[in-house]
């Protein structure tokens, strides 16, 4: 079975789905690897490194898709709507494609993907269960995003993060507020603390308070009822607008006191909730910085413009729309481990076995035999999920 790794075509995407170091695991399982020419260059990996590990190089994209039985991508069609459209014509029945697909936000695109006959898997739907942890690419990329968000803030803030006692006097530490304490938020807390800032964090899920405190930060308590704020998978749930209105009112003071605000709050498949209003931004000190790590989902700040920097009343608002791509070497290494572990989970004697009874496979499987088979996507399409998971093994 041939595993194909195409070059990423999403604008400014510097990651690659498989790094040379991950190839040995696939070859030991009896798989061959084919990499599109130049696929790893943006993440620091030459074609020679891939061939040195036993991979072959495809001169072009068409050749790669023609020969590959399984295609591994960072951004598959759905998470790469415009440029990824061209790949639809290259997919075929019986071929498998694995990558980020953004299926809950783009269910109609999943339907078009099904029309190719390919078997598609969405990495962002990986269940958060113990045995799937090595495959959890969403958490891996969130770790990178949380780290990089703090560094962007430190670079743009016109003061230093740590407290310094010098002959010229005492430099007071920066005050950093992290909003949203998922994987990205926790990494942002840890990074800001390592840089010496005074860190406060807030999340609608009260269960994360101990995690925040364990990292040496203060947990901001607003006294709001949040018992319904977390789903069974550990992800934040969208709440009603009245809740968010009260939350914004109570959070305004903490934001005004902060030198840096980093927002990471997002709900899978939905637009990010607005947590920082224009009025709150105007209440911040000149020189303050907001890094909106949820910019790709529309942003947690009302003034965020995805992919752009905004200046408002002396406050800088950064809207990076692909933070992991700014750290492509380590982001690619982590993603390659996630996706190769997932692939090998489904490989038996050199062949791909799609076992829909396996929770890991069932929760990530989007399309099969020309049909959309994921219940949540079918529900978004207004179609019945009946029988979607009872199809025979490949």
Q: Which of these, 109, 8, 9, lies nearest to 367 by C-alpha position? A: 109
Check if 332 is active-site: no
| DSSP label of 321 | S
Residue of 128, 156, 305, 376 marked active site: 128
Check if 77 is active-site: no
**CA quadruple 385, 390, 393, 394: dihedral positive or negative?**
negative
Check if 172 is active-site: no
Token pair belonging to 112: 């078009």
What residues are paired with 178 via a beta bridge? 201, 262
Residue of 46, 67, 108, 133 marked active site: 133
Residue of 7, 43, 77, 136 marked active site: 136
Check if 139 is active-site: yes
| DSSP label of 195 | T
Residue found by looking up tokens 């696929």 in the block: 39
Phi-psi domain of 221 (left: phi exceeds 0; alpha: psi -120 through 50; beta: other): beta
What residues contact 202, with CB distance under 8 A and at least 6 apart? 177, 178, 179, 180, 181, 219, 220, 222, 251, 254
Residue of 235, 330, 355, 376 marked active site: 235
Check if 133 is active-site: yes
Token pair belonging to 307: 């992919």
Residue of 25, 139, 211, 391 marked active site: 139
Q: Which residues are catalytic?
A: 128, 133, 136, 139, 235
């Amino acid at each position: 079975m041939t595993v194909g790794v195409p070059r990423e075509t999403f604008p400014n995407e510097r990651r690659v789905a498989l790094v040379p170091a991950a190839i040995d695991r696939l070859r030991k399982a009896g798989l061959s690897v084919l990499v599109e020419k130049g696929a790893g260059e943006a993440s620091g990996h030459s074609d020679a490194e891939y061939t040195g590990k036993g991979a072959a190089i495809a001169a072009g994209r068409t050749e790669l898709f023609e020969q590959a039985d399984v295609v591994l991508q960072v951004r598959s069609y759905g998470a790469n709507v415009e440029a990824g459209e061209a790949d639809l014509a290259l997919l075929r029945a019986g071929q498998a494609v694995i990558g980020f697909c953004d299926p809950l936000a783009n269910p109609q695109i999943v339907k078009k993907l099904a029309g190719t006959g390919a078997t598609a898997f969405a990495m962002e739907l990986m269940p958060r269960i113990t045995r799937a942890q090595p495959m959890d690419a969403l958490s891996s990329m969130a770790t990178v995003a949380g780290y990089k968000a703090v560094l962007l803030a430190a670079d743009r803030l016109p003061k230093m993060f740590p407290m310094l006692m010098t002959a010229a006097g005492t430099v007071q530490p920066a005050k950093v507020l992290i909003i949203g304490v998922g994987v990205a938020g926790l990494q942002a807390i840890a990074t800001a603390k390592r840089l010496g800032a005074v860190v406060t964090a807030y999340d609608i899920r009260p269960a994360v308070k101990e995690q925040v405190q364990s990292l040496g930060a203060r947990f901001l308590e607003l006294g709001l009822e949040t018992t319904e704020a977390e789903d069974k998978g550990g992800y934040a749930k969208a709440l009603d607008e009245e809740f968010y209105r009260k939350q914004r009112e109570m959070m305004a003071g903490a934001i005004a006191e902060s030198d840096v605000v980093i927002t990471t709050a997002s709900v899978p498949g939905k637009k990010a909730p607005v947590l920082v209003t224009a009025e709150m931004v105007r209440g911040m000190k000149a020189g303050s910085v907001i890094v909106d790590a949820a910019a790709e989902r529309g942003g947690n700040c009302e003034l965020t413009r995805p992919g752009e920097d905004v200046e408002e009343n002396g406050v800088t608002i950064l809207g990076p729309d692909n933070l992991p791509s700014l750290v492509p070497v380590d982001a690619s290494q982590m993603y390659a481990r996630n996706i190769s572990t997932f692939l090998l989970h489904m490989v038996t004697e050199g062949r791909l076995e799609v076992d829909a009874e396996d929770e890991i496979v069932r929760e990530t499987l989007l399309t099969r035999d020309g049909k959309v088979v994921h219940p949540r996507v079918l529900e978004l399409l207004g179609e019945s999920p009946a029988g979607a998971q009872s199809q025979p093994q490949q």
